[in-house]
Structure 1
């Protein structure tokens, strides 16, 4: 890796500022999934063991108004408590994002101590200081420490004060999680063992145009599922009924298909329903036979077989996005089928991007069957587009 990693820094007795991704799902003040906290432990424990004084920064949810600041599911206090349990040591939590109380708490840290700063996006309530990468804020936070480590891949596609802003003022490196994300995604896209198959799902072509175009240049096959498939069907002249479609992307879909040829693999049958509801009446129909009063909700069983066959000899697989309305049990079979097909591949490097596809892997208990499960949905997509990630680009080169 061309960027410095935390191993390249001399951290003993230094105050090390670390951008982590503790944007965990919350139910009130209760954490419902602590995977992102667990994912940061390797870097935090390394710094503890090497006698650094550790100051952690993270956001939690979006902050649009003063009222949001009072919400329990935007407060990092529960995260500090959970992190303390996982580290088996006290984590100092400071309710502020700047000021004398924070400065004093940082100054009091001893080697091996850990401090968590309150939600960085509390700075967005009076204008987007954090998410707008306010230079004064980045400089202020940088003044609290000696070194900076970015281990938050989930925000690497954004230039914020707590990643790019701090990195502008301190010697910087990536943490172990960020290193792993960039290594796996980078090698998969830039130096894949072939055949390389990419699987893209989700609702909209517009969300993934650049990803599709970039991967068509690099992959041996690109499988399309989910809601975006219906825009491609429309481009083929098929009746798509009430299915989701982006009319302004139909011509683009035609261009993509013309360019891709047989490299692009589309569903051949679909589970369709009369209503967007789990208990709706359903049919399985060919992709060119969707009734006018039905909508596509999932790929069909023949498509699962086709996609499984397409994957059968793959040596590198990147999967991002569900094959249907995965949150409804009756329309999750396509996503489950693809997940199982990937999980049972032997000798392949298999990578899943965040969001619903990662949730499917977790729910099915296949986490140990995948080479890598990305923690950053948006950052993964940006990387798959071939675009620069500001959070990585701002880190010092070796």
Structure 2
């Protein structure tokens, strides 16, 4: 992957259209978590330092091409101004007269936020006319929204073909981290894939067995693989109709020289609640009236041993029901070991996906990983080996 960054494009005295992701949680008209807003600050500041005038393009919610007042980006202004440490002008539309007026009034050092791009049906249709209307507002395009890069929308894909384009700081950091994990990684590479269902991660598993040296499977999907190997899993979550698919993945991994690691022992309980009575049994010895809720200590030891032999780790999904103690033990222990190895310079660790980020935060190790992606769907599609339209449009 090769793409230009802010450093590669002249921006002095130019209006720079910056696609950002500030689709933040809001309650009672106030932003409750400004993390995504804070992450765009380096890009905006660097554009200003180069003499550019940043105009922010963003979506908010899913208005489906209609103007929905409660999905106006105006609600983000106070948090945006606090993060940037300056006032931010707001345009009531992202194209047309309101946008043109706001951009024309800009002075050096100003920032403008345009209204929700998804208020126009042309945005999600990747409409060339919509892209042209956006492009007419500036001279340079910067995409800093990796989390929206898996969507071919007017503000993420079509516009990039109409003007000099590059990746913002956040996008460039994400692409660099992902390339280091799967594009040109240090080997051996281990991937941890957890979650509830094999059926939702077929493309992911199929791609990984061709790319990594070790694949650790945890969470509910591990139960399906255990069933595929003839084990009884009691009342555990398992997709029994996916057993043949699981066996095919195991066969493909063997052909590709990828070692798959499944639980050798499991933590089981009769009820799914905090503080429930539990026991540890062999992976093929789950009682008929019990459910598997976590990987056992022998499994964790085996996973840690794999980590110590690898140079690169990609993690998507927890190893057990991490939301409820004590069924967070395996995820916490493996995550802490990965963090230790990363701090010691022995492992490049990249993780992503909502549950994964939550689990690593709960374990207190998110800051110790090499890179944590909050991109959700884009991160998953990248792991699946799919082309991300918003990234492909930037490739030099």
TM-score, normalisation: structure 1: 0.91
Q: 1:114 corresponds to which residue? A: 111
User: What's the RMSD between the two structures over aligned residues?
Assistant: 2.2
1:205-284 superposed matches below 5 A: 205-261=198-254, 263-278=259-274, 280-284=276-280
Deviations 1:92-124 (A, max 9, x none): 12343334222211211122211112232233x
The CA distance in 2 between the partners of 1:300 and 1:241, in whole Å, is 16
* Partners of 1:156 and 1:389 within 8 A in 2: yes
* Partners of 1:335 and 1:357 within 8 A in 2: no
The CA distance in 2 between the partners of 1:208 and 1:185, in whole Å, is 18
**CA, structure 1 residues 293+64, in 2 after alignment: closer, same or farther (shift >3 Å)?**
farther
Answer yes or no: is 1:87 the counterpart of 2:87: no
Answer yes or no: is 1:178 the counterpart of 2:171: yes
Q: 2:360 corresponds to which residue? A: 361
- SS of 2:250's equivalent? helix
The CA distance in 2 between the partners of 1:95 and 1:304, in whole Å, is 54
Match of 2:73 among 66, 71, 76: 76
- SS of 1:344's equivalent? helix
What is the CA distance between 1:60 and its match in structure 2? Answer: 2.5
* Partners of 1:47 and 1:112 within 8 A in 2: no
**CA, structure 1 residues 24+300, in 2 after alignment: closer, same or farther (shift >3 Å)?**
farther
Q: How many residues align?
A: 390
* Partners of 2:21 and 2:37 within 8 A in 1: yes
What is the CA distance between 1:65 and its match in structure 2? Answer: 8.9
The CA distance in 1 between the partners of 2:283 and 2:65, in whole Å, is 45
Greater mean deviation of Cα atoms: 43-52 or 349-358: 349-358
* Partners of 1:50 and 1:112 within 8 A in 2: no
Q: Which runs of 4+ in 1 moved over 6 A?
A: none
Greater mean deviation of Cα atoms: 96-105 or 350-359: 96-105
- SS of 1:161's equivalent? coil
What is the CA distance between 1:370 and its match in structure 2? Answer: 1.2
Q: 2:21 corresponds to which residue? A: 21
The CA distance in 2 between the partners of 1:320 and 1:373, in whole Å, is 10
TM-score, normalisation: structure 2: 0.91
The CA distance in 2 between the partners of 1:243 and 1:121, in whole Å, is 41
The CA distance in 1 between the partners of 2:348 and 2:152, in whole Å, is 30
Unaligned runs of 5+ in 2: none
